[in-house]
Structures are given as C-alpha cells and as structure tokens.
Amino acid sequence: MEINKDILSLDNALHGLVSGIEILDAISPLNYKEQKAVFFESKYSHSPRFVYKQNTLDAFALKRRLFSLPIESLQDDDLITLYTGVINSYIDKVDQVVSIGSNDFLYDSFRYYGEPSEKDLRNAAFVLHLPTEKQPDETFYNASAIETYLKEFAIAQGYEHNIRLDENMIANALASGTTIKINAQAKVNKIDMTALAHHELGVHLATTLNGRNQPLRILSLGCPANTKTQEGLAILSEYMAGCLTVGRLRNLALRVMAVNSMIKEKNFRASFLYLKEEFSASDEQAFSITARVYRGGGFTKDYVYLRGFHDMLNAYETSDCFHNLLCGKTASEYLPVINNLVNKGYLVPPKFITPAFALPQVTDSIQKFIAHAIK
C-alpha cells in the first residue's frame, strides 16, 4: 500500500530526533579494564569508579520536540498506539541518558526496566540449584577465531554486517546496529561461540535488518520496553539451536541476583562477594556481572533475560504470529498492534527469520525440562 505522506513525515521526524540515543553505548565504561585491575590489586577494597562518554544531550529541547510531534495526523488507532508508546518510552530514555553516573540513574532505570519480582528471584534460585554440567577438556577460541566464526555465520545468512574487536568491553560480544563488537579478551568454547552467533546475529542483527526493511522506521527505534522481548528472543534462539547450557542459565540467574543485591546493598564490593560466596562464582564472572549491574549508577536491565526467555518460549509455542516479533525491535505486548499493521500494509513480515526458529535443533529432554520449569 502507499503510505500517507503525513505518516511518513512524522515517522522520519521521530527517527531523526532519537535514532542516535543508545543506552548501552552511553553506559559502556571507558576505563573498564583499568578499574578491573585496580579492584583486584586492592584485594576488592577499591570499588570501581567508571567514567563514561560526555553527555551533550539537551534533554529539555528534545522532550519538547517529541511532545510536539503531530500524533493526530496518523489517523489510525494502531499507529497512534504504537507511536505514542514509542515517544513516551524515549522520554524515559532521555532521562536515563542525562542521569548516567548520578544517583538518579538507578531510579530512571527502575522506571524503564523495573526490578526483579519474587517470581524472578525464585526462577533464579531454581537455576542456581541445578547440578552443574561436567566440563570435558575442550578447546577455547580467542577473539580472532570468534570474529571469523561470526563472519561466516553472517555471510551464510545473508546479513549485512560489520564485525570488529573492542579492547574495552564487559560482554563477550555486543550488537549495535549492524556492527557486532567482540571483546578483544574473549575466550569461549565451541558451544558458547555458537550461542553468541545465534544470540547476537540470529536475533539482534536480524531484527535490526528487518526493522530497516520496514516501510516505516518506527520498529528500527523499537517498541516501548522492548528489552525483555529482544533478549528473550535471543536466549530462546540459543535454546532452539541446542546450545543453551546450564552454565549459561546460571550466568543469567546470577544477573538476577546481582541486580537484587545492587538495589538493596548499593555497594559494589558487597554484591561481588555475594556472587562469590553464596553461588561460587569465579572472580572473573563475579566482577563482570557486578560491573554490568552497577554501570551508569545502577542498571537493572539484566534481570529480564530469564523472564524474557520464559515469555518468548511460551509465545513460540502458543502464538500463531510469533515470527512477527522479528519485524524489528518489537515488544510482545505490542504484537497484536504489529499484526494489525502488517495486515493493513503499514508494516511487512520479517525478511530474515532467526535460523534457530526456522530449523530448531533442540532434542535434549533435560534441556526441555529445565526450560519449561522456568515460570
């Protein structure tokens, strides 16, 4: 269908205003390696003092322009619902960006991501009580080998991509637009390298490309609070590819516990020692997880991975239009609206389907039991 020029004008205006706002980039510590070394050299007594990119955002002016966008020109209830939600979510994101490094950041994070519920904590406790898998002698792959593997994966799927090494990362890999950053210090085994490919490329990159393929750019920006759905889809892809291990689930469960500790303790050392002493996390694992949740001033996002996995597994098994969640940076709460907009021609079905969803590889009965036991 031919989309009304007023709709296209508003869509382009919104994209122009907020497309450069990337929370994960903004809260990436510039001195992560240095502060990690200081923490361990001080025998855990010197809590990291992370520094971040200088913020130049004029929050007041941007909010005023967002609220001035002529939503009434859309003349379609589903479009109005979607655009209103996205504009309001970016108001919250603006507050997050300008409060990075301050005490207000934690409360802005609460407002956008929420915090772990008792159910989330029970799910995490369940995972942390699972017996750990026996680790056979295995080969570990460095950043250069991971880069080669991800490039081959992207080429095989026909994904536009740019892969580069990064010297100052917390995660092993991170998708940002069509760029995949790989931690230059990363070392992973074969199953974790496969999981990285399905997670970062099969979902995060694929949904970026699908969002850019839409007649409207709204799904490139993302539905409100889409993190739970996007990360849930990414963990589901690891599961459907047959590479979601108990070790990986434990890591996700430790993130839930770390967020809860951060909220209660507000003390980096206390949260780090909690992961080590209560759950036998290694120094490396405990530090990276604690750094993830304390960055910016208190980032609660990491508890949503397990919850998102449960929600997306349920959606995969029960929803007739599950693949429309791949149309861009969607949120499950907006799936009925997205389905309507696809049917009306404002949006198109996803061009790229996550390979693990197209050809599931899950055959292990124990993996299936564990996945369905997370409620």
Please report the pLDDT score of residue 137 as a whole number. Answer: 62
Q: Give the pLDDT mean for 349-372.
A: 92
Mean pLDDT score of the chain, rounded to an integer? 94
pLDDT tens for each residue of 65-99: 999 999 989 989 999 999 999 999 999 999 999 99
Sheet holding 173-176, edge to edge: 162-166, 179-183, 173-176
* Residue 135 confidence (pLDDT) above 70: no
Q: How confident is the model at residue 40 (pLDDT cuts 50, 70, 90)?
A: very high
Please report the pLDDT score of residue 1 as a whole number. Answer: 74
Q: Give the pLDDT mean for 19-40.
A: 93
Please report the pLDDT score of residue 363 as a whole number. Answer: 73
Cβ-Cβ contacts under 8 Å for 314 (sequence gap 6 or more): none
Phi, psi of 247 (to 5 degrees): -60, -40
Amino acid identity of 249? L
Q: Which two tokens stand for residue 253?
A: 């469960």
Number of domains in the chain: 1
pTM: 0.95
Q: Give the pLDDT mean for 131-146.
A: 83
pLDDT tens for each residue of 302-340: 999 999 999 999 999 998 899 999 999 999 999 999 999
pLDDT tens for each residue of 239-273: 999 999 999 999 999 999 999 999 999 999 999 99
Pairing of strands 173-176, 162-166: unpaired
Please report the pLDDT score of residue 205 as a whole number. Answer: 97
Q: Give the pLDDT mean for 170-197.
A: 93
Residue among 375, 321, 309, 340 at smallest CA distance from 121: 375
Please report the pLDDT score of residue 255 as a whole number. Answer: 98
- Note down the domain range covering 324: 5-373
Cα distance between residue 232 and residue 199, in whole Å:
10
Of all residues in the chain, the percent with pLDDT exceeding 90 is 89
Please report the pLDDT score of residue 134 as a whole number. Answer: 67
Cα distance between residue 161 and residue 207, in whole Å:
13
Q: How confident is the model at residue 211 (pLDDT cuts 50, 70, 90)?
A: very high
Q: Give the pLDDT mean for 26-54.
A: 94
Cα distance between residue 339 and residue 343, in whole Å:
6
Please report the pLDDT score of residue 356 as a whole number. Answer: 97
* Residue 31 confidence (pLDDT) above 70: yes
Q: Give the pLDDT mean for 209-231.
A: 96
pLDDT tens for each residue of 93-123: 999 999 999 989 999 999 999 999 999 999 9
For 264, how many CA atoms within 13 A lie in the half-sphere containing its CB?
A: 10
* Residue 213 confidence (pLDDT) above 70: yes
* Residue 190 confidence (pLDDT) above 90: yes
Tokens 């029970």, located at residue: 122
